[in-house]
Amino acid sequence: MDLVDALPKAELHVHLEGTLEPEQMMYLAQRNNVLDQIPYDSVEEVRKAYDFKDLQSFLDLYYAGCAVLLEQQDFYDLTWAYLERAHAEGVVHVEPFFDPQTHTQRNVPFGTAVKGVHAALKDAEAKWGMTSGIIICFLRHLGPEAALECLEEALLFKDMIMGVGLDSTEIGWPNKLFTEAFTRAKAEGFRLVAHAGEEGPAENVHQALALGVQRVDHGIHSLEDPDLLKQLAERRMPLTLCPLSNLKLKVYDGELQERMQELFGLGNLCITVNSDDPAYFGGYMSLQLTTEL
């Protein structure tokens, strides 16, 4: 094990659906007899398709891949495979996201997904002492009413869920649309986070702060707004950066290295480094820390 793997790490921004490796996707498609529901015939075809021009082109494939996740055991196996990799790379604490609506929309019950994820996290705690807390994310592109419905379902499994977040398409779906869902979630005692300023503007980071978040996921576009940077620094507001993700989704295309250096160079921000959707972007935690952008 090299030094980077050996360092104890916390993973605060990883989507479990984004840890679905092509081999596991094909395996589950066969196990569940749904090969006809994914747009690939082989692992090689899956890998070849992973060439993204922006966030949406990635999300389209990411949601398509989820068609293979149907049973509680599938969610367990997905989570467990991720946890084994994370453990091998020195992750000792993880707060994984998953998107309940991606599954309930396909008539997979909320409980099927959350129970599978939760059971795997508990097994990792028993086996390695790895601590964790599930964050469910509302899908921005389904709108605020659907987020409220998702929250209602989450209340039935409150003991398994630590927080709520906001993800999916950013442009055209500003975070302020979700004020009611976040106010309700806070009143129920959930922790709050939100994706913001990934490919959308700094204004969406302001809107995330107004939702009452305790972390901003990505937030790299905060660079556009010096007043916002000052506020983030003063509040010690964590930004969960995902360098490989930004590289693969062409965020600040051609100048990502400079932008990251600018952000780190400020020296006063609370920044964490994370893997986002490692099966799609080609690297788990350790690679985030060693890749040239």
Tokens of 124: 């990792």
Task: State the Cα–Cα distance between residues 272 and 47, nearest whole angstrom.
Answer: 28
Subset of 153-192 contacting ligand ADE (CB under 6 A): 167-168
CB of 277 to ligand ADE, least distance (A): 5
Strands (E), 122-229: 131-132, 135-139, 163-167, 191-196, 215-218
Q: Which is nearer to ligand ADE, 77 or 276 (CB)?
A: 276
Which entry of 125, 198, 224, 262 is annotated as an active-site residue?
198
Q: Which is nearer to Zn ion, 12 or 29 (CB)?
A: 12
Which of ligand ADE, Zn ion, none binds 215 (CB below 5-8 Å, type-dependent)? Answer: none
Those residues whose C-beta lies under 8 Å from the C-beta of residue 185, and which sit 6 or more positions away, are 151, 164, 192
Q: Which is nearer to ligand ADE, 169 or 231 (CB)?
A: 169
Which of Zn ion, ligand ADE, none binds 178 (CB below 5-8 Å, type-dependent)? Answer: none
Adjacent-strand bridge partners of 192: 164
Q: C-alpha distances in angstroms, 174 versus 167, 190, 196, 243?
A: 11, 21, 9, 23
Amino acid of residue 247 = L
* Residue 245 found at the interface with ligand ADE (CB under 6 A): yes
* Residue 15 found at the interface with ligand ADE (CB under 6 A): yes
Task: State the Cα–Cα distance between residues 250 and 256, nearest whole angstrom.
Answer: 8
Q: Which is nearer to Zn ion, 199 or 276 (CB)?
A: 276
Task: State the Cα–Cα distance between residues 64 and 107, nearest whole angstrom.
Answer: 15
**Residue of 16, 38, 55, 113 interacting with ligand ADE (CB under 6 A):** 55
198 is catalytic: yes
Nearest alpha carbon to residue 24 among 74, 71, 70: 74
CB of 46 to ligand ADE, least distance (A): 17
**Residue of 276, 278, 279, 288 interacting with Zn ion (CB under 5 A):** 276
Task: State the Cα–Cα distance between residues 60 and 41, nearest whole angstrom.
Answer: 17
Q: Which is nearer to Zn ion, 26 or 220 (CB)?
A: 220
CB of 217 to Zn ion, least distance (A): 5
Q: Which residues bind Zn ion (CB under 5 A)?
A: 276
Q: Which residues are catalytic?
A: 198
Q: Which residues bind ligand ADE (CB under 6 A)?
A: 15, 18, 55, 62, 167-168, 195, 198, 245, 276-277
